[in-house]
Structure 1
Amino acid sequence: MEYSPPPLFKQGASARFKMMVFAAISIALLFADSRMDALSAVRKGVGFVLYPLQQAALLPRDAVNGVGSYFSTLSSLQKQVNDLKQQQIASSMQMQQAQLYQAENNQLRKLLDAKERVPGKSMLAEILYDARDVFTRKVILNRGTQQGVQLGLPVIDNQGVVGQVTRVFPFTSEVTLLTDKEQAIPVQVLRSGLRSVAYGRGQSGTLDLRFMAPNADVQVGDILITSGIDGVYPAGLAVARVTQVENSSGAFGRVVCQPLAGIERNTQLLILTSVPEIPPRPPEEEVVKPSKKKKDAKDAAQPAATPAAPAAAPAGGAPAAATSGAAPTAGAAAAAAPGVVPGAGAPAAQAPRAATAGMTPTLSTPPAAAPRAAAPAPAATAPAPAKKEPAR
């Protein structure tokens, strides 16, 4: 059954005729455009007119594509930012490492320069860590007895003295810094030559010159160097700079100094392995005590007048016996004394003191006993003490 519109609404040509007419027009236009290029202006005008409609039609597609590209771009940017941050951190670490290497290089160059300027041999050491006791000022170095470190060696840097080796282990050593409260170093004022001893003040990081006279020639800004009189530190090494001088009314003044060396900044130090050679101390002189003979001669050379005292004689008329067994007479004592002619009798009141401690002076003896007492006169120049005999 063929469908067709009602005759009332049927108008114009048929659809087949219209298709054929439009097809012929299209073919003619295509032929005219391709062969004669006659429709280019028309095509441009139509494109210009239809461009807004075309953009309006493409808006939904562009919106969808824009949203997708936005989120993809956001994620890619976030990832790129993270990568850049990691690169920045790595670059910062490398820069800090390079700065550290640069600082160490500069310090090592200065230490090498100081090593050439310091007399004697020295050894480069690196600080490993601080000591465990927080109340002391000590550090641990990576050099020990296996490398030739000995107890008491001084430690310096390129600016001055740092401390002294106080403990030594096989592969490490302990250094007590100058600022430790139990550390002291002999110093000398470079300007005036005044010598003193600098003591550490502990956690304050400064030094103190104790027992200084109130009128001592010390000024703010003076440089203190090692005096070298202790035999440990070589003379002429920089130690500290005077920062405060207080002249009190008491017996001593107060002088505060700031160390010149990098006590808390350096990581590499120099250990002076050769200490200055000092001549040995001379031996102490023995105190020579005077012998008994010299003492007796001295006592005999200095006569002293003793008062005459009557002595009780025994029944036989003999004089009293002394502890030595023979009592000197006045004539014998006069012969022993310098400036007295032997044989000349002396009064009993002027009898000299006995030459020995065991003898006691007596009164003048009878004339018969005088020749017997004057017999030992030739030994008057150096009288020998008589041996003590038991009294009979």
Structure 2
Amino acid sequence: METAPQFFRNGPGPFARLFIFAILSCLLIAEDTRFKYFPQLRQTIGVIIFPLQKIAYIPSDIYDQVEKLITSFNLLEENVKLRQLYLDRREQLLRLEALEAENTHLRRLLGAVQQIETTAKTKVVLAEIQYTPRDPFNHKITLNKGSYHDIELGQAVIDDKGIIGQITQLYPWSSEVTLLTDKDHAVPIQVVRNGLRSIVSGTGKNNELELRYLSVNTDIQQGDLLVTSGIGGVYPPGIPVATVLKIEQDSAGDFALVTSAPIAGVNRNRQVLVLSLAQVESNNSLETPTIESGTN
């Protein structure tokens, strides 16, 4: 049986090794402090082994790059899913907001019907705006209800704010409404503040009405609320029409030029109410107006 050489079996003791390494450390520290040969040697060795270090780091770099690539693909896929989910939820939210706004408007329309002062039963048909003209000089809109839904010529059209216009063209499943702002349209009105009666007419301009042929000393002020007077039997009395914006005098100084802005409008909502002209005997008692949506 072979035995290890004597040199490898008997070496210096632990304390002797500690002493030798301590002396060697002190020498290295002293050399590094005073002579500074080892820093240059370390730099030379570092330059020599730098390519070897780069080669040794190649597998780790490849692993890091592959991991980043996989993570990027996962993030990209997750972003696509999250974006699609966001778009779906956004679409649902917009639909819910639209439905909420529509329900709020319908409740306001119901409240507007209940506020109509009449001694006869008023039949009301709910309609939607199908078409609004792009031409600024065309002041007519089209509704999705016609003679098939008991709509008649001359009926008043309102929203939750007030008067919009009047039915002027009738078809089986649609009808055309002439707006208040049309230059050929006029509505009998009454000033709420003092009961003054007059007629407000369209000017052919958006959001502008005028009261014509009023004397300069007529008791009318800026901000006065104009409502329907009920004269003529077309519009029920007490429905808001416009608010006075400014009062001027004509060039001759004989008449006042009163400009007002309509309270209602067709640019805010899709639903409107068509008020029936048909009056039903009610034995001189107030009855609640009824709403019919008609048949599509």
Residue equivalent to 2:144: 142
Structure-2 residue corresponding to 1:269:
272
Alignment-mate amino acid for residue 66 of structure 2: G
Q: What is the DSSP-based 3-state SS (H/G/I as helix, E as strand, rest coil) of the residue aligned with 2:205? A: helix
Aligned counterpart, 2:183: 181
Partner of 2:255: 252
Aligned AA for 2:143?
Answer: L
Over the matched positions of the two proteins, sequence identity in percent amounts to 39
**1:274-293 equivalences in 2 (<5 Å):** 274-275=277-278
Q: Secondary structure at the match of 1:203?
A: coil
> How far 1:133 moved relative to its partner?
5.6
List per-residue Cα deviations over 1:234-275 (Å, max 9, x = no partner).
Answer: 111111111111135521111111111133212100101135
**Greater length-normalized contact order (CA 8 Å, ≥ 6 residues apart):** 2
Given the alignment, which residue of 158, 161, 164 partners 1:159? 161
CA contact (8 A) 1:122 1:274 kept: no
CA distance in 1, matches of 2:148, 2:90: 39
Where does structure 1 lack aligned partners over 5 or more consecutive residues?
Answer: 1-15, 22-55, 278-392
Contact residue 183 and residue 203 of structure 2 kept, 8 A: yes
1:205 paired to 2:203: no
- CA distance in 2: counterparts of 1:263 and 1:252, whole angstroms: 32
1:96-152 residue CA offsets vs partner (Å, 9 max, x unmatched): 221111100100111122223334111111111124765211111111111100000
Which amino acid letter does the alignment assign opposite residue 75 of structure 1? F
Q: Using the alignment, how far apart are the partners of 2:192 and 2:86 within structure 1?
A: 51
Structure 2: which 5+ runs fail to align? 5-53, 281-296
After superposition, where does 1:6-45 map in structure 2 within 5 Å?
17=2
Compare CA radii of gyration and give the structure with the larger one: 1
Task: Give the distance between the partners of 1:71 and 1:213, measured in 2 at CA.
Answer: 84
Count of equivalent residues: 229
The equivalent of 2:65 in structure 1 is 67
- CA shift, 1:220, in A, is 0.7
What is the one-letter code of the residue matched to 1:215? N
Alignment of 1:295-310 (within 5 A): none
What is the deviation of 1:194?
1.2
Structure 1-normalised TM-score?
A: 0.54
- Are the counterparts in 1 of residues 136 and 206 from structure 2 also a CA contact under 8 Å? no
Q: Secondary structure at the match of 1:202?
A: coil
Contact 1:214 1:251 survives alignment (8 Å):
yes
Residue 94 of structure 2: SS of its match in structure 1? helix
Whole-Å separation in 2 of the counterparts to 1:204 and 1:143: 25
Contact 1:154/1:165 (<8 A) preserved: yes
Work out whether residues 231 and 276 of structure 1, in 8 Å CA contact, stay in contact via their aligned partners in 2: no
What is the TM-score normalised by the length of structure 2?
A: 0.71
